[in-house]
């Protein structure tokens, strides 16, 4: 597994996702977007879906996104009068977008499995120069369905807010000042930059997924330390441990699935 260049991208993407979670990127982005849309019916749910999609497109992992949005947004949604089922469903649906929106760790692992299976099938059919299924092709194929899924989530929330306004009421209180659009764009600049760096380089064929993941990881470290400034050396060390534990678990799953 460690000599497979494709699978080497898995621990790098995991580490990048943990780094962004430790830098409180999702926290700040979610809070700012929620404040901006708090007077809109269903605005908090829309903010959760948008942030979930951005985190999915910049990290590729699910756990950190679900936990972060659950801890931050669920108490706020319940406090503002949102229906518990709508709140929990929105968070789970938005958090698991990382499974399909590239760069997805699941797609990286699936590409390796599909490539081996496709080559064996071609050899059995007598084709001794079989083509491979690359990670970039899977990323390109999953991008549009992932974006369509995000659009359907948003459409569902908008319809639900109109049909059942009591389930997703707007926030009419004056407790918090509304955030400026400029600050929101500044917060969104980090994940957007990572999305362009990872997906753009892979889809254009400039870099392999592993190379793009390594560059994006370096960018995530710089963003956490110097832009969001919530990443400390202690959190950096803890991120290394968390990424190592998660990667070890994935490798164990691969080994058990191969031999048992």
Q: Does a cis peptide bond (omega within 30 degrees of 0) precede residue 236? A: no
**Nearest residue to 230 via CA among 25, 58, 16:** 25
Q: Does a cis peptide bond (omega within 30 degrees of 0) precede residue 249? A: no
In angstroms, rounded to a whole number, what is the distance separating the alpha carbons of residues 80 and 171? Answer: 7
In angstroms, rounded to a whole number, what is the distance separating the alpha carbons of residues 63 and 98? Answer: 9
Contacting residues for 62 by C-beta, under 8 A, at least 6 apart: 56, 95, 96, 98, 99
DSSP state of 177: P
pLDDT digits (tens, 9 = 90+) for 13-52: 777 777 777 777 777 777 778 777 777 888 888 888 988 8
**Nearest residue to 88 via CA among 48, 43, 47:** 48
- Cβ-contact 53, 82 below 8 angstroms: no
Confidence at 94, pLDDT banded by 50, 70, 90: confident
- What is the reported pTM? 0.76
DSSP state of 97: G
Contacting residues for 257 by C-beta, under 8 A, at least 6 apart: none
Q: Which residue has the higher pLDDT, 91 or 7?
A: 91
pLDDT digits (tens, 9 = 90+) for 136-172: 888 888 889 999 999 999 999 999 989 988 888 877 6
In angstroms, rounded to a whole number, what is the distance separating the alpha carbons of residues 77 and 223? Answer: 29
> In angstroms, what CA-CA distances link 209 with 170, 235, 251?
42, 26, 18
Q: CA-based diameter of the chain, in Å?
A: 71
- Cβ-contact 51, 30 below 8 angstroms: yes
Least confident of 86-90, 165-169, 188-192, 254-258: 254-258
Percent of the chain beyond pLDDT 90?
Answer: 8
Per-residue burial over 168-188, b if 16 or more Cβ lie within 10 Å, else e, is bbbbeeeeeeebeeeebeebb
Of the chain, the end-to-end C-alpha distance in Å amounts to: 16
């Amino acid at each position: 597994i460690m000599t497979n260049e494709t699978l080497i991208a898995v621990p790098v993407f995991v580490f990048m996702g943990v780094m962004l979670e430790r830098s409180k990127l999702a926290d700040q982005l979610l809070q700012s977007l929620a404040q901006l849309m708090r007077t809109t019916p269903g605005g908090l749910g829309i903010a959760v879906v948008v942030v979930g999609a951005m985190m999915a497109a910049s990290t590729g992992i699910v756990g950190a996104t679900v936990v972060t949005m659950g801890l931050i947004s669920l108490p706020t949604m319940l406090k503002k009068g949102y229906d518990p089922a709508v709140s929990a469903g929105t968070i789970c649906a938005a958090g698991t977008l990382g499974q399909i929106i590239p760069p997805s760790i699941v797609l990286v692992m699936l590409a390796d499995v599909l490539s081996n299976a496709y080559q064996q099938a071609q050899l059995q059919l007598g084709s001794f120069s079989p083509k491979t299924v690359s990670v970039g092709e899977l990323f390109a194929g999953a991008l549009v369905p992932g974006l369509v899924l995000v659009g359907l989530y948003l459409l569902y929330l908008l319809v639900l807010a109109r049909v059942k306004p009591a389930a997703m009421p707007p926030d009419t209180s004056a407790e918090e000042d509304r955030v400026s659009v400029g600050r929101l764009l500044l917060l969104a600049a980090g994940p957007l930059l990572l999305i362009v760096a990872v997906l753009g380089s892979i889809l254009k064929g400039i870099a392999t997924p592993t190379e793009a993941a390594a560059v994006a990881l370096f960018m995530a470290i710089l963003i956490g330390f110097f832009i969001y400034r919530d990443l400390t050396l202690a959190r950096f060390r803890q991120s290394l441990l968390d990424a190592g534990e998660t990667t070890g678990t994935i490798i164990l799953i691969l080994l058990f699935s191969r031999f048992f």
